[in-house]
Amino acid sequence: MNKVIVLYRRPIGKPVLGDFRLNIEEVPVPDDGEILLKTRYVSVDPYLRGRMNDAASYVPPFQLNKPIQSGIIAEVADSNHSGYKIGDIVSGNLVWKEYQISSGKGLQLIETPDIYLTANLGVLGMTGLTAYLGLTEIGVPKPGETLLVSGAAGAVGSIVGQIGKIMGCRVVGIAGSGQKVELLKSKFNFDEGINYKTNVDLDKAIKTACPDGVDIYFDNVGGKISDAVLKNINKHARIPICGAISLYNETEEESGPYVQPLLVRKSALMQGFLVSDYSEKFSEAKKQLFNWLKEGKLTYHETIINGFDQIPHAFIELFEGLNEGKMIVKV
């Protein structure tokens, strides 16, 4: 018996449980050159929401009544493939099934599954690469500069802040609860944290936390939080735009102050990116992140929820802002 979670209905606004359905099917049998994978850990991420819309985007939309795909760590349960043996642990962009067949294409063998295993879905996976490459390639941090991170307690944000500190920046994070702000400082080495829910005048709170202005704004959220940040950027500011979670669920196009006049006044750069834009730098970046992890310079935080059936629930929780760090489902 093999459990499968499919997209049953395209969410309107915020996703709800009824948008997903749990199906049961046979456990498949691997052909020649194939392996059978048993899912161990499933990553749920905000960007998946975009693929649930029936709209052209940077990746094709998920199809209705087909399983959803995300970052997954799996164990080789059976192998007719010379490159894999039973018990090997791999990561890849796989579907939400307990068991699935793979040709091995796109899989990464995890060579050290005994240490930092789930980190391969986070700081050593796409999340860490997104943080590292967005910050270093677009943000280009210099010692003494001020780095402000929105969505700072999230998976990407918490890594961005730590890397900023390693690179000598003053680092300030914006997050959505007192507990998260506390975590930024106690666990992730941020200099300051701002709770955007309790600071009614966010502009002023940013001015106080960033007395020298903002040189790099790593933007994970967009919307009104970013409007307030932009009032505080310095000349020659760099703004990597990693995501706009506050806008993912909007059904109408949202408006805000035009950024163009500000970008001219500040000679500032704003650049959207996908981690895949920098794929030729992945291996070098992963090495750097692994070394920082081993040296204790980098830490990570996960929220792990148990049970395959809980995947849709874990995904929906992302939009409640309740998770801290990377959200992972253990199967």
Torsion, Cα 283 300 5 72, to 10 degrees, reads 30
* CB of 148 closer than 8 Å to CB of 206: yes
Residue for token pair 């995501």: 243
Of these, 273, 299, 321, 330, which contacts its own copies (CB under 8 A)? 273
- Asked if 154 interacts with its own copies (CB under 8 A), we say no
Based on the shown chain and the rule CB under 8 A, indicate whether residue 222 belongs to the binding site for its own copies.
yes
268 scored as a contact of its own copies (CB under 8 A):
yes
Q: In the complex with its own copies, which residue's Cβ is closer, 85 or 235?
A: 235
Query: Judged by CB under 8 A, does residue 270 bind its own copies?
Result: yes
Pairwise CA distance, residues 161 & 298, whole Å: 10
Please, which residue, 245 or 298, has the CB nearer to its own copies?
245
- Residue 189 C-beta: closest distance to its own copies, Å: 27
* Residue 64 contacts residue 38 (beta carbons within 8 Å): no
Q: Count of CB atoms within 10 A of residue 42's CB?
A: 27
Give the separation between CA 160 and CA 292, rounded to whole angstroms. Answer: 13
Task: Please report whether residue 101 would count as binding its own copies according to CB under 8 A.
Answer: no
How near is the Cβ of 259 to its own copies at its closest, in Å? Answer: 6
140 is an interface residue for its own copies by CB under 8 A: no
Query: Residue 279 interacts with its own copies (CB under 8 A)?
Result: no
Query: How far is it, in rounded angstroms, from Cα 43 to Cα 33?
Result: 27
End-to-end CA distance of the chain: give it in Å, rounded.
Answer: 15
Among 260, 280, 295, 296, binds its own copies (CB under 8 A): 260
Contact by Cβ (8 Å): 13, 106:
no
Q: In this structure, which amino acid lies at residue 90? A: V
Task: Decide: is 60 part of the binding site for its own copies (CB under 8 A).
Answer: no
Q: How far is the CB of 275 from its own copies (least distance, A)?
A: 10
Q: How far is the CB of 31 from its own copies (least distance, A)?
A: 36
Task: Pick from 108, 277, 288, 299 the residue near its own copies by CB under 8 A.
Answer: 277
Stretch that binds its own copies, among 199-207, 220-228, 285-293, 317-325 (CB under 8 A): 220-228
Q: Is 89 left (phi over 0), alpha (psi -120 to 50) or beta?
A: beta
Name the one range near its own copies by CB under 8 A: 119-127, 177-185, 217-225, 322-330: 217-225
242 and 154 Cβ atoms separated by less than 8 Å: no
Q: Identify which range of 158-166, 206-214, 235-243, 292-300 contacts its own copies by CB under 8 A.
A: 235-243
Residues 49/75, Cβ–Cβ less than 8 Å: no
Among 15, 46, 157, 243, binds its own copies (CB under 8 A): 243
Could you tell me where the DSSP H helices lie in 12-109? 48-51
Q: Which residues bind its own copies (CB under 8 A)?
A: 57-58, 219, 222-223, 226, 235-236, 241-244, 247, 253-274, 277
